[in-house]
């Protein structure tokens, strides 16, 4: 009996050539849903519309096309079961040997809406495929008897199987089934995530599903003995970035780039001046704002030029020629910016090994962050809060000048992205000292002040958590710090406030802490 293939594709890439070869080289008969059938007929390929094959018209504006016993019976029938074969015969159903389906572009639709700054729930809902997943899952379940393809990159592999063996091997069919279940799981996860945000406005669900599409096999993980693979979970983020030049991205590059993106995202509002951040091992070693991008970068570099060597640079403006020239003066691993001017790209080629990434959307990040633990994982809403100075409490007799308040806010933006316990000293919108990841806050204070050196006089100090004692306040004052911003919340806040008053410091409480472990 002539083999029967069902083709129903949203993405028409390669479908005409594939269908023609199925018919001409391997004598398949084709049935197809409306849109795909029209494309094949226009190309002169013989095809029967699904509605003609089933005898049931498409209804509900195309919402119901393939949900029919002649379709699903042909997909799910077990060829080695006598009762199944009898059912096919009694109901005039042909077994289907190949199912080729790809799904409505749900993720692309919501990504496009996000890029355009609109939210159209009704349009997104219409891109939730029903018949497609049903056919894919049915065919994948019955992989022992037929082949299911869910992406254009599988077409040539399937034709090679036919050419070599006359039919697809069981191992090939099983691999295709696995890909289907991975894809439909990711599809449903994307829908659940979208609805949780747009309808319930609660990103954490009782049942949390995570799936991704393999983007790139990485050379190794954090260390050479660890294998690693990069998965993308949607149509936004780093998978959409353009790499202008440089070596292949590594696991550590991507981790550091994301940390850099998160920092520079704090400086992307229209009123923000040009800003630059330089990171090493997930911690900022230099962050600065200035009237020009090159000045901001140079200030961030000078804040800790030793650590900046081999660092990751994030910029909140497209790279210009002057900044590109400055970037070539030292060894850097990666640079990320929302754009790059042609003359700047030419200059950067002098350092061809540096990875230059263009990510126009620096702001959009994950709504949920995850950590794995033995036997499970932890999920939390991303730390997107940033309490503005207008909501702070100034708890000391000394009050900040407008300039000090702006500097305090700059320091608060930066300390949010430093590993806890975190202390940042800043002046002139530039980090002067960073104390990160210490087992006690006093240690972080000492490191930040020591690194700041002579820049501590009149500077600002920010702490990601409260001061449990007044010792850090006194140490800061002795070094010449003029103002402190911290979340407050300690049972001994009064001691720290009293010390600040005694020493003439400004102290602001934000009421929000930013631990980053």
Asked if residue 46 and residue 177 are part of one domain, the reply reads yes
CB neighbour list of residue 450: distance below 8 Å, 6 or more residues apart: 433
Let me know if residue 54 belongs to a domain. yes
pLDDT confidence band for 515 (50 / 70 / 90):
very high
Q: In this predicted structure, what is the pLDDT of residue 201?
A: 46
Asked if residue 335 and residue 435 are part of one domain, the reply reads no
Asked if residue 160 and residue 50 are part of one domain, the reply reads yes
Q: Which of 356, 313, 319 is nearest to 339 (CA)?
A: 319
* Span 191-216, average pLDDT: 67
Q: In this predicted structure, what is the pLDDT of residue 385?
A: 87
Let me know if residue 209 belongs to a domain. no
Let me know if residue 219 belongs to a domain. no
Across 119-128, 276-285, 479-488, least confident range: 119-128
pLDDT confidence band for 205 (50 / 70 / 90):
low
Q: In this predicted structure, what is the pLDDT of residue 206?
A: 66
Q: In this predicted structure, what is the pLDDT of residue 279?
A: 96
State both tokens at 465.
């958590």
- Among the listed residues 114, 174, 247, 281, the single catalytic one is 281
In the chain, what's the furthest Cα-to-Cα distance?
Answer: 95
Q: Is the pLDDT of residue 126 over 80?
A: no
Let me know if residue 46 belongs to a domain. yes
- pLDDT tens digits for range 55-89: 777 777 777 777 788 888 889 888 888 888 898 88
Q: Which of 481, 470, 471, 472 is nearest to 506 (CA)?
A: 481
> What integer best gives the mean pLDDT of the chain?
90
pLDDT confidence band for 380 (50 / 70 / 90):
confident
Asked if residue 126 and residue 12 are part of one domain, the reply reads yes
- State which residues form the domain around 312: 242-358
Asked if residue 351 and residue 302 are part of one domain, the reply reads yes
Q: Is the pLDDT of residue 129 over 60?
A: yes
Asked if residue 275 and residue 346 are part of one domain, the reply reads yes
* Span 205-234, average pLDDT: 84
Q: Is the peptide bond before 421 cis (omega within 30 degrees of 0)?
A: yes
pTM, 2 dp:
0.74
Asked if residue 275 and residue 170 are part of one domain, the reply reads no
Query: What is the number of domains present in the chain?
Result: 3
State both tokens at 91.
């109901």
Let me know if residue 488 belongs to a domain. yes
Let me know if residue 430 belongs to a domain. yes
Find where tokens 């140490």 sit.
475
Let me know if residue 211 belongs to a domain. no
Q: Is the pLDDT of residue 248 over 50?
A: yes
Q: In this predicted structure, what is the pLDDT of residue 200?
A: 44
* Known catalytic residue at 145: no
Residues in the chain: 517
* Known catalytic residue at 457: no
Asked if residue 257 and residue 168 are part of one domain, the reply reads no
Let me know if residue 220 belongs to a domain. no
User: What gap in Å lies between CA 102 and CA 149, rounded to an integer?
Assistant: 8
- Among the listed residues 12, 141, 247, 498, the single catalytic one is 141
- pLDDT tens digits for range 326-364: 999 999 999 999 999 999 999 999 999 999 999 999 998
Domain boundary (317, 343, 358) is at 358
Residue 497 belongs to a domain with what CATH number?
Answer: 3.40.140.20
Q: Which of 372, 264, 240, 350 is nearest to 315 (CA)?
A: 264
Domain boundary (340, 358, 376) is at 358
User: What gap in Å lies between CA 420 and CA 225, rounded to an integer?
Assistant: 28
Asked if residue 338 and residue 432 are part of one domain, the reply reads no
First to last CA, the chain: 64
pLDDT confidence band for 189 (50 / 70 / 90):
confident
For the CA atoms of 472, 474, 476, 479, what is the dihedral angle to 10 degrees?
A: -140
Q: In this predicted structure, what is the pLDDT of residue 291?
A: 96
Asked if residue 179 and residue 87 are part of one domain, the reply reads yes
Asked if residue 422 and residue 315 are part of one domain, the reply reads no
Where is 25: in which H helix or E strand?
helix 15-26
């Amino acid at each position: 009996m002539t083999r029967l293939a069902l083709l129903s594709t949203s993405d028409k890439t390669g479908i005409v050539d594939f269908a023609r070869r199925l018919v001409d080289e391997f004598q398949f008969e084709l049935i197809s849903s409306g849109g795909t059938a029209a494309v094949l007929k226009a190309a002169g390929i013989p095809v029967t519309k699904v509605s003609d094959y089933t005898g049931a018209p498409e209804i509900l504006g195309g919402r119901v096309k393939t949900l029919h016993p002649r379709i699903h019976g042909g997909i799910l029938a077990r060829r080695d079961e006598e009762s199944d074969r009898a059912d096919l015969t009694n109901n005039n159903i042909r077994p289907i040997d190949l199912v080729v389906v790809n799904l409505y572009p749900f993720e692309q639709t919501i990504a496009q809406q996000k890029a355009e700054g609109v939210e159209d729930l009704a349009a997104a809902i219409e891109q939730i495929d029903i018949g497609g997943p049903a056919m894919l899952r049915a065919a994948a379940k019955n992989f022992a008897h037929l082949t299911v393809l869910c992406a254009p990159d599988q077409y040539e592999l399937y034709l090679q199987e036919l050419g070599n063996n006359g039919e697809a091997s069981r191992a090939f069919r099983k691999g295709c089934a696995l890909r289907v279940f991975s894809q439909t799981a990711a599809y449903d996860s994307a829908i659940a995530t979208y609805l949780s945000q747009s309808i319930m406005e609660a990103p954490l669900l009782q049942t949390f599903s995570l799936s991704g599409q393999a983007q790139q096999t990485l050379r190794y993980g954090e260390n050479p003995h660890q294998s690693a693979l990069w998965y993308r979970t949607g149509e936004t983020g780093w998978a959409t970035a353009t790499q202008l030049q440089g070596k292949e991205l590594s696991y550590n590059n991507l981790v550091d780039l994301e940390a850099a993106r998160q920092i520079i995202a704090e400086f992307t509002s229209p009123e923000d001046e040009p800003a630059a951040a330089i990171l090493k091992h997930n911690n900022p070693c230099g962050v600065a704002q200035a009237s020009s991008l090159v000045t901001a970068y140079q200030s961030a570099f000078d804040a800790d030029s030793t650590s900046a060597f081999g660092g990751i640079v994030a910029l909140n403006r497209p790279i210009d020629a002057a900044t590109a020239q400055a970037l070539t003066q030292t060894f850097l691993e990666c640079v990320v910016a929302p754009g790059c001017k042609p003359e700047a790209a030419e200059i950067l080629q002098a350092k061809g090994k540096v990875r230059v990434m263009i990510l126009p959307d620096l702001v959009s990040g994950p709504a949920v962050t995850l950590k794995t633990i033995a036997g499970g994982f932890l999920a939390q809403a991303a730390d997107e809060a940033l309490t503005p100075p207008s909501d702070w409490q100034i708890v000391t007799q000394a009050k900040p000048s407008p300039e000090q308040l702006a500097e305090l806010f700059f320091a608060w933006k930066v300390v949010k992205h430093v590993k806890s316990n975190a202390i940042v000293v800043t002046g002139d919108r530039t980090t002067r000292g960073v104390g990160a990841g210490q087992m006690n806050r006093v240690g972080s204070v000492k490191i930040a002040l020591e690194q700041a050196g002579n820049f501590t006089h009149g500077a600002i100090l920010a702490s990601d958590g409260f001061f449990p004692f007044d010792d850090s306040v006194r140490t800061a004052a002795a070094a010449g710090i003029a103002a402190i911003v911290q979340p407050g919340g300690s049972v001994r806040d009064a001691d720290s406030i009293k010390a600040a008053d005694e020493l003439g410091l400004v102290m602001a409480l934000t009421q929000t802490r930013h631990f980053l472990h």
